[in-house]
Amino acid sequence: MTSSSQNQAPPLSGERGELLQALAEQRELFLITLRGLTDEQGARRTTVSELTLGGILRHLASGERVWTQILVKGDGELPDGMLDMEQYRMGAGDTIEGLLRQYAAAAEATADAVAGLPDLDRTVPLPVTPWSPPEPVHWSARRILLHLIKETAQHAGHADIIRESLDGASSTAQR
């Protein structure tokens, strides 16, 4: 997943294309924080937070896969890995390159899923989690896409702070 591959015009027009483009732009901002990063740097904590750049990358790839599965299956079942707290850590066998490939695959799966929907008004039940309200919750495909945009933007901000603390690199200066 490179900046050039993420900044291409979406294959879909209208609202779907615009939402996928907004998500691609947030991914691109996040990916700037990973430029030139070694695996060791990706696993290093630079703040009091447990978050690392590699951990955020792993989480975003996992999160996008999970939300796409929720959207596609539409069965309300809890996807594997959704509650796995290790998704926030760069594992001993993980590499930045490998995690980037996983993230690119998740992005492609999201685009394919959205392209295959009859419309963005399709609703699906959300899985029951420890933080779920007692009554069933349904989200539209649109809301799931907006959630992915929000999550990616939030973590891009976290990543920017971590990268600046790591070596002074600023995503704003690297655009």
pLDDT class for 20, splitting at 50, 70, 90?
very high
The whole-number average pLDDT for the span 97-103 is: 98
Q: What DSSP letter does each residue of 108-161 carry, written as one string?
A: HHHHHHHHTSS-TT-EEEPPP-TT--SS--EEEHHHHHHHHHHHHHHHHHHHHH
pLDDT class for 4, splitting at 50, 70, 90?
very low
- Tens digit of each residue's pLDDT (9 = 90 or more) over 51-95: 999 999 999 999 999 999 999 999 999 999 899 888 899 999 999
Q: What DSSP letter does each residue of 3-67 carry, written as one string?
A: HHHHSSPPSS-HHHHHHHHHHHHHHHHHHHTTTT--HHHHH---SSSS--HHHHHHHHHHHHHHH
**Global pTM value:** 0.90
- Please tell me the predicted confidence (pLDDT) of residue 61: 97
55: which residues sit within 8 A by CB, 6+ positions away?
Answer: 43, 88, 89, 90
Does residue 1 carry a pLDDT above 60?
A: no
The whole-number average pLDDT for the span 86-112 is: 96
- Please tell me the predicted confidence (pLDDT) of residue 175: 73
Structure tokens at 119: 């419309």
- Please tell me the predicted confidence (pLDDT) of residue 9: 43
- Please tell me the predicted confidence (pLDDT) of residue 51: 94
pLDDT class for 39, splitting at 50, 70, 90?
very high
